[in-house]
Amino acid sequence: MNEPNSTLAERLAAALAEIEELRGDKLRLQRELVRLRGLLRGEPRELRSTKLNEALRE
């Protein structure tokens, strides 16, 4: 673990950038999930499976 500080700083900066990118992905996926749940809830209940109905209640 005798890496120069500049290398560690670069690795930290890269890790922080990756974390921000993952946060953006998470937000995008959460929005997509909300959108898809809304579409599914718009369908008549009798056309959906029991497991799907249970999942939508959560």
φ and ψ at residue 43, rounded to 5 degrees:
-80, 150
pLDDT at 1 exceeding the cut of 60: no
What per-residue confidence (pLDDT) applies to 48? 65
Q: List, for residues 6-54, the tens digit of each pLDDT value.
A: 899 999 999 999 999 999 999 999 999 999 888 877 777 666 677 666 7
> For 17-30, what is each residue's pLDDT tens digit?
999 999 999 999 99
pLDDT value of residue 46: 67
Q: Are 40 and 48 in contact (CB under 8 A)?
A: yes
Q: What is the DSSP letter of 32?
A: H
